[in-house]
Structure 1
Amino acid sequence: MSSLNFENLKALAERFVSQLLQKNYDRAASQFDDQMKTAFPESELKKSWQRLTLPAGDLIQMGVLQTAEMEGHRIVSVRCQFELAAIDVQLVFNSQGQISGLSLIPSKTEYHPPAYVDTSTFREVEVTIGKGKWAVPGTLTIPNNSSDNTEPFPGVVLVHGSGPNDRDETIGPNKIFRDLVWGLASKGIGVLRYDKRTLKHASEFTEDIVSKMTVKEEVIEDALLAVNLMRETPEIDSSRVFVLGHSLGASVAPRIGEQDTDLAGLIIMAGTIRPLEDTILEQFTYLYSLAGSMTDEQKATLESLKVKVARVKDPELSEGVPSKELPLGISATYFLDLRSHPTKEILKNLSLPMLILQGGRDYQVSPTQDFQVWEDELKSRKNVSFHIFPSLNHLFIEGKGKSTPQEYGVEGHVSEEVIEDISQWLKKFE
Structure 2
Amino acid sequence: MDTRAAPEPVKAQFVSLLKFFSMKIILSILLTLCWHCSMSQNSVMGIWEGILKLPQQELKLIFTFNEKNGHSTALLNVPQQSPISIPADSVNFNSQEAYARFKKFKIEFSGTLINDTTISGTFLQGASFPIILIKTDKIAQAEIPARSQTPKPPFPYKVKEIDFYNADKSIHYAGTLTCPDDKTRLEKYPAVLLISGSGPQNRDEEIFGHKPFAIIADYLTRKGMVVLRVDDRGVGKTTGTFAGSTTLDFMHDAMAAFDFLKQQPQVNKKYMGIIGHSEGGMIAEMMGAKRSDVDFIILLAAPGIRNIDLMAAQNVAIFKSKGVSAAAAENYGNLFKLMCTGILQAKTAEEAEENTVKNIIEWNAPVAVKKELHFESLDTIRLFASSFVNEVNTIPMRYFLAYDPMPNFKKIKSKVLALNGSKDIQVLPDPNLAGIQQGLKHLGKKKLKIQELPGLNHLFQTCKVCNLDEYVTLEESFSPLALEAMGDWLQQQNIITP
TM-score between the two structures when normalised by the length of structure 2: 0.61
Q: Which moved more, 1:340-349 or 1:313-322?
A: 313-322
Contact 2:343 2:393 in 1 (8 A): no
Select the residue among 451, 455, 458 that pairs with 1:391: 455
**Structure 2: stretches of 5+ with no match in the other structure:** 1-26, 47-56, 63-75, 87-113, 120-133, 353-385
Select the residue among 159, 162, 168 that pairs with 1:127: 162
| Matching residue of 1:418 | 482
Q: How does 1:56-71 map to 2 (within 5 A)?
A: 62-63=59-60
Name the CA distance, whole Å, in 2 between partners of 1:36 and 1:25. 20
Residue 326 (structure 1) shift: 5.6
| Matching residue of 2:434 | 372
Contact 2:148 2:475 in 1 (8 A): no
Residue 158 (structure 1) shift: 0.5
Contact 2:174 2:230 in 1 (8 A): yes
Name the CA distance, whole Å, in 1 between partners of 2:261 and 2:170. 21
**Matched residue pairs, number?**
365
| Matching residue of 1:138 | 175
| Matching residue of 1:429 | 495
Contact 1:252 1:343 in 2 (8 A): no
Q: Is 2:247 the partner of 1:215?
A: yes
Residue 397 (structure 1) shift: 1.3
Name the CA distance, whole Å, in 1 between partners of 2:274 and 2:426. 21
Deviations 1:236-284 (A, max 9, x none): 1122110100001112312111222111111111001223233333333
| Matching residue of 2:83 | 86
Q: How does 1:7-406 map to 2 (within 5 A)?
A: 21=30, 34-37=41-44, 62-63=59-60, 79-82=78-81, 85-87=82-84, 96-97=117-118, 112-114=147-149, 119-131=154-166, 132-145=169-182, 151-200=187-236, 205=241, 210=244, 213-217=245-249, 219-293=250-324, 309-314=337-342, 317=345, 320-321=348-349, 329-335=391-397, 337-338=399-400, 342-379=404-441, 381=444, 382-400=446-464, 402-406=465-469
Deviations 1:168-211 (A, max 9, x none): 111212111111111111211111001111435999649xx72x
Distance 1:320 1:327, change over 3 A: closer
Give the residue type in structure 2 aligned to 1:239: K
Name the CA distance, whole Å, in 1 between partners of 2:143 and 2:263. 35
Distance 1:395 1:328, change over 3 A: farther
Residue 334 (structure 1) shift: 3.4
* SS of residue matched to 1:365: coil
TM-score between the two structures when normalised by the length of structure 1: 0.70
Deviations 1:329-361 (A, max 9, x none): 244533554566521121112211111111111
Give the residue type in structure 1 aligned to 2:345: L
Which structure is higher in helix share?
1
Residue 80 (structure 1) shift: 2.7
Deviations 1:377-416 (A, max 9, x none): 334513111221111111111123x411122102213122
Distance 1:411 1:181, change over 3 A: same
Contact 1:365 1:394 in 2 (8 A): yes
Contact 2:297 2:414 in 1 (8 A): yes
Name the CA distance, whole Å, in 1 between partners of 2:219 and 2:170. 32
Give the residue type in structure 2 aligned to 1:87: I
Structure with greater contact order relative to length (CA < 8 Å, sep ≥ 6): 2
Name the CA distance, whole Å, in 2 between partners of 1:25 and 1:414. 31
Distance 1:203 1:244, change over 3 A: closer
| Matching residue of 1:44 | none
Name the CA distance, whole Å, in 1 between partners of 2:226 and 2:143. 28
Name the CA distance, whole Å, in 1 between partners of 2:163 and 2:33. 38
Contact 2:421 2:456 in 1 (8 A): yes
Give the residue type in structure 1 aligned to 2:83: A
* SS of residue matched to 2:345: coil
Name the CA distance, whole Å, in 2 between partners of 1:316 and 1:173. 36
Compute the RMSD of aligned alpha carbons. Answer: 4.5
Name the CA distance, whole Å, in 2 between partners of 1:395 and 1:189. 23
* SS of residue matched to 1:171: coil
Residue 316 (structure 1) shift: 6.6
Name the CA distance, whole Å, in 2 between partners of 1:359 and 1:240. 27
Name the CA distance, whole Å, in 2 between partners of 1:171 and 1:279. 23
**Structure 1: stretches of 5+ with no match in the other structure:** 1-17, 41-59, 66-76
Deviations 1:284-322 (A, max 9, x none): 332232243469xxx79x85x865642432497256447
Contact 2:288 2:413 in 1 (8 A): no
Over the matched positions of the two proteins, sequence identity in percent amounts to: 21
Name the CA distance, whole Å, in 2 between partners of 1:94 and 1:236. 66
Deviations 1:13-72 (A, max 9, x none): xxxxx9x9399999xx9xx994144x68xxxxxxxxxxxxxxxxxxx984499xxxxxxx
| Matching residue of 2:50 | none
Residue 325 (structure 1) shift: 6.8
* SS of residue matched to 1:170: coil
Name the CA distance, whole Å, in 2 between partners of 1:190 and 1:202. 21
| Matching residue of 1:54 | none
